[in-house]
Structure 1
Amino acid sequence: MTQNGSHEEQEEVLKSLPNGVTLSWGIIKQPRRGPKGELSIEKIVAAAIAIADQDGLPAVSMSRVAQSLGYSTMSLYRYIASKEDLLILMQDAVSNVPIPPEDAALDWRDGMREYVRVCVQVFRDHPWYSDIPIMSIPTTPNTLQIIDWLLRTMRDFPLNDYEKISFVLLLSSYARACGMIQRDMDRVIQSGRSPESFSGSDYSAALKYLVKADRFPDLYPVIHSGAYTDDTDSPIGNDLDFGLERILDGIAHYLENKRK
């Protein structure tokens, strides 16, 4: 089969994709006229996201979404066949982030920093995002657009495709971990607790009393130096930035060795 192939061959290939993925690509046509001619996949997904943002992912159901839109549950099934499909579409919709224009003068490290920052923000803006289990590699258009953006920063690297996609996985995994930590910190603060309780600085004195050198010989000096429960205006952000810079240092070192 050629890259384009016949129409029949293309249809056969696309059958391997989950239904929600084909919906995200617009491959499955929407009904021409829904109830009152007003319902659409976009409206359904937007309503589901609003519910998840406010009440969490468990609150999202086809009936709850339908109710919020003023339609019957069966009306939604004319557009989206299952909640699983809806979750795929929700993930892809919030992944529709602004992609910076190409800038030849931009340092690759700055490009990767921006990629991680944007990905972290998705988890903070939509705390439910990581509650959806990872079921496969990204296959929807907006998630693939983000990956394409990150690959752009590596366009001139002396690396093969496997190495590049491995760096995508490394940075994406770090962004996911950072995003979940930042999300949890946001939740702590929204619940009325202080940032200091999250960083542990509220417990610094107690830990210094409890952690003894004979039982925790290597943790003991760290606790007593204050590094373990650092009391700063941004107790988590600085630590996460430090980790990202070390990842970028590692990529730079790898590139240096490849160029030798």
Structure 2
Amino acid sequence: MSSEKLPDQLVRLWRLPTGPRLGRPAELDVDRVVGTAVALADRAGLHGATLPKIAAALGVTPMSLYRHIGSKDELNDLMADHGLGSATELAVSQGGWRADLRRWALAQLEVFRRHPWLTQLPISGPPRGPNAIDWMDAGLRALRGTKLDSASKVGVIMVVSGYVRQGFVLAHQLEHGSRAAGLDQTQVEQNYGRDLARLVDPGRYPDAAQLFGSTIFEEAPAADGSDDHDFTFGLELVLDGVAAAILDAEPGADGSA
């Protein structure tokens, strides 16, 4: 693939050759800078991957990094694409659009669990990097057999991926708040339910009072620690909406022949 006339950011993002190199290979390159940044972020969060800290880990000056990453914003894009990784394991269908799209969503959730800092990066635009396009391709492939048009397919994968991202952020924030309070999530929910049951007036908040009077906040999570009920419930609601859109796109869905 030629890098001619492409923006420098895309050339670096796709690791395109920029011409013949003479002499010894450079000791520093895009892959080494980005790999170091991701390793630092995995250990200490996004604040641990500042340019001075990356430079210190590499034994170079911060200014020397700009020859390889262009800018801090470009480094964010490079880290995001690296962190996403490839979606090639999703290439084989699991039996229909819903199963494939569900697997696509859950695979994204696992990526965020491995690299929580990914959700802290600003979204600077549509997918552009090779790994981001790989995930886009996998999402579109899940919808290949439907009658949705291209714009609708893009809309679907944006909604599903947005749900996954926000679902992870909420769960991560709740977990962080629980740790800060020195409690586990079960204790936090139980305390919340018990406190609000005492405060909520059934005369003013009848439906909320009924909720807090139930045992929902007393229920323990699954014994194996894998209780993702809230996330799964929401994901299935989203997929129900996708199913309705797919049904509407079928010929004759509007009553025509």
| Unaligned 5+ runs, structure 1 | none
1:157 positional shift: 0.6
Q: 1:21 touches 1:88 (CA, 8 Å); kept in 2?
A: no
Q: Please name the residue that 2:248 is paired with.
A: 257
Q: TM-score, normalised by structure 1?
A: 0.83
Matched, 1:194 2:184: yes
Alignment identity in percent? 28
Q: 2:41 touches 2:117 (CA, 8 Å); kept in 1?
A: yes
- What count of residue pairs does the alignment treat as equivalent? 248
Matched, 1:130 2:119: yes
**CA deviation string 1:162-187 (max 9, x = no partner):** 11111111111111111212333453
Cα distance in 1, alignment partners of residues 162 and 156 from structure 2 = 10
Query: Are residues 88 and 30 of structure 1, via their aligned partners in 2, closer, same or farther at CA, if it must alter by over 3 Å?
Result: farther
Q: TM-score, normalised by structure 2?
A: 0.84
Q: Please name the residue that 1:247 is paired with.
A: 238
Cα distance in 2, alignment partners of residues 41 and 229 from structure 1 = 51
Cα distance in 1, alignment partners of residues 228 and 204 from structure 2 = 30
1:22 positional shift: 3.1
Which of 150, 153, 174 is the equivalent residue of 2:142? 153
| Unaligned 5+ runs, structure 2 | none
Matched, 1:207 2:196: yes
Q: 1:130 touches 1:180 (CA, 8 Å); kept in 2?
A: yes
Which stretch shifts more, 99-108 or 47-56?
99-108
Q: Please name the residue that 2:51 is paired with.
A: 62
Q: Please name the residue that 2:228 is paired with.
A: 237
Query: Are residues 97 and 103 of structure 1, via their aligned partners in 2, closer, same or farther at CA, if it must alter by over 3 Å?
Result: closer
Cα distance in 2, alignment partners of residues 155 and 38 from structure 1 = 44
1:214 positional shift: 2.0
Query: Are residues 210 and 38 of structure 1, via their aligned partners in 2, closer, same or farther at CA, if it must alter by over 3 Å?
Result: same
Amino acid at match of 2:35: A
Cα distance in 1, alignment partners of residues 51 and 113 from structure 2 = 24
1:35 positional shift: 9.7
Cα distance in 2, alignment partners of residues 105 and 45 from structure 1 = 33
Query: Are residues 22 and 179 of structure 1, via their aligned partners in 2, closer, same or farther at CA, if it must alter by over 3 Å?
Result: farther
Cα distance in 2, alignment partners of residues 220 and 31 from structure 1 = 72
Which of 103, 115, 119 is the equivalent residue of 1:114? 103
Matched, 1:183 2:172: yes
Please tell me the root mean square deviation across aligned C-alpha atoms, in Å: 2.9
Q: 2:37 touches 2:49 (CA, 8 Å); kept in 1?
A: yes
Which stretch shifts more, 31-40 or 81-90?
31-40
Cα distance in 1, alignment partners of residues 140 and 184 from structure 2 = 39
Matched, 1:43 2:32: yes
Q: Please name the residue that 1:170 is paired with.
A: 159
Matched, 1:103 2:92: yes
1:32 positional shift: 4.6
Q: 2:91 touches 2:138 (CA, 8 Å); kept in 1?
A: no
